[in-house]
Amino acid sequence: MFLDIQSGESWESVEPVNKGWSSDKKYFVKTFSGDHLLLRIADIGQFDAKKKEYEIIEKYATLGFPMSSPIEFGVCNDQKNVYMLLRWIDGCDLETVLPTLSKEEQYKLGREAGIILRKIHGIPLEQEDVPSTTKKEKKLAQLARYEESSLRIPNDETAIRYVKENIDQIWKKTPVYMHGDFHPGNLIYTKDSSIGVIDFNRWEAGDPYEEFYKLESFGTEISIPYCVGQIDAYFDDSVPMDFWMANAVYVAQASLFSIKWAEPFGQRDIDGMVKRAERALVDYDDFRRVIPGWYKGPGVIE
């Protein structure tokens, strides 16, 4: 599979990386000169999408923060696959490290992440990438799939109603380039105690506020101070109410639909999503409030 990758001649070793939800095959590459690289391989049928992804990564790489920056793109395996070669970010998964740090350090790292996210959203959006539609209909259709399933959880009615009655609170902002999956599971705690960003394969152009709902799903269970810091820094310590209203819609919809989404992966993943949904119902008082109970105000960490 690797023989027709020209730079492969400089590789000393190639090891599979079995982490994440991406359909890409991922490998950790070590070169004879000691460099660490990430190789991502996909089916050739995804050539156009992967080429665009690589071009987006090139845009993000101009922003100056540590990330899996681009090195090489092409086809391999006798034209059967498309590949991209990226810098490997040395360090540990942030989601693993956060619980071991002081709350002050967790908050500081959250602020660093919020500043990085704001930089990504600040890249001028090319006209060809401006979305032709919003995601409102998609979100409602996904919610309907959950409603019609056998996986519904108790006391979900207020969350369902909140989404339907407030769907117009989303997609009010000018579309931006997004990371698409920005949470501690896709961030690296680097050797110099800063944040590196990885896994851009879910990039998109859309509502910047959609970037935050995964804090509820995958952030608060690890570090509330981090989540507070990311929000505070992104909004320069003045969080607008329209953000909270839109974020609550995203959280309510995703918390429920994620249960249905997890169904193909088995009962363990379903149970995990159920627990997250139940926690969201508590945090948002069954969506009778839009600011979650864990957020006490800018800079307030408990």
CATH number (domain holding residue 132):
3.90.1200.10
Average pLDDT, the chain: 94
255-281 tens-digit pLDDT: 999 999 999 999 999 999 999 999 999
Domain boundary residue, one of 88, 108, 123: 88
112 and 195 Cβ atoms separated by less than 8 Å = yes
**206 DSSP β-pair partners:** 176
Query: Residue 241, exposed/middle/buried by CB under 10 A (0-12, 13-18, 19+)?
Result: exposed
Q: How far apart are CA 84 and CA 103, in angstroms?
A: 37
The per-residue pLDDT for 21 is 64
The per-residue pLDDT for 217 is 84
Asked whether residue 141 falls in the same domain as residue 97, the answer is: yes
Asked whether residue 84 falls in the same domain as residue 124, the answer is: no
The answer, yes or no, to whether residue 3 has pLDDT greater than 80, is no
Across residues 20-42, what is the average pLDDT? Answer: 90
User: How much of the chain, in percent, has pLDDT values that exceed 90?
Assistant: 91
User: How much of the chain, in percent, has pLDDT values that exceed 70?
Assistant: 99
pTM (2 decimals)? 0.92
Asked whether residue 55 falls in the same domain as residue 166, the answer is: no
Asked whether residue 73 falls in the same domain as residue 111, the answer is: no
Asked whether residue 107 falls in the same domain as residue 28, the answer is: no
72-81 tens-digit pLDDT: 999 999 999 9
The answer, yes or no, to whether residue 241 has pLDDT greater than 90, is yes
Q: Which helix (H) or strand (E) holds 38?
A: strand 36-43
Classify residue 293: in a domain, yes or no. no
Q: How far apart are CA 233 and CA 253, in angstroms?
A: 25
The per-residue pLDDT for 301 is 85
Domain boundary residue, one of 88, 121, 155: 88
Domain boundary residue, one of 59, 88, 117: 88
Asked whether residue 140 falls in the same domain as residue 238, the answer is: yes
Q: How confident is the model at residue 20 (pLDDT cuts 50, 70, 90)?
A: low
Asked whether residue 143 falls in the same domain as residue 82, the answer is: no
Classify residue 189: in a domain, yes or no. yes
Classify residue 302: in a domain, yes or no. no
Asked whether residue 142 falls in the same domain as residue 274, the answer is: yes
Domain that holds residue 126: 92-287
Query: Considering its fold, how many domains does the chain have in total?
Result: 2
The answer, yes or no, to whether residue 92 has pLDDT greater than 70, is yes
The answer, yes or no, to whether residue 202 has pLDDT greater than 70, is yes
Classify residue 15: in a domain, yes or no. yes
The per-residue pLDDT for 278 is 96
Asked whether residue 198 falls in the same domain as residue 272, the answer is: yes
Classify residue 129: in a domain, yes or no. yes
Across residues 87-105, what is the average pLDDT? Answer: 95
Classify residue 298: in a domain, yes or no. no
Classify residue 299: in a domain, yes or no. no
* Chain center to CA of 272: 18
List phi, psi (to 5°) of 52. -65, -45
Question: CATH number, domain at 41?
Answer: 3.30.200.20
Terminal alpha carbon distance of the chain: 51
Classify residue 295: in a domain, yes or no. no
> 3-state class of 16 per DSSP?
strand
Asked whether residue 188 falls in the same domain as residue 49, the answer is: no
2-6, 148-152, 173-177, 190-194: which range is least confident on average? 2-6
40 and 83 Cβ atoms separated by less than 8 Å = yes
**43 DSSP β-pair partners:** 81
The per-residue pLDDT for 153 is 96
The per-residue pLDDT for 24 is 86
Asked whether residue 23 falls in the same domain as residue 58, the answer is: yes
The answer, yes or no, to whether residue 90 has pLDDT greater than 80, is yes
135-165 tens-digit pLDDT: 999 999 999 999 999 999 999 999 999 999 9
Asked whether residue 164 falls in the same domain as residue 204, the answer is: yes
Q: How far apart are CA 139 and CA 137, in angstroms?
A: 5
The answer, yes or no, to whether residue 23 has pLDDT greater than 90, is no
The answer, yes or no, to whether residue 300 has pLDDT greater than 90, is no
Neighbours of 258 (CB within 10 A): 21
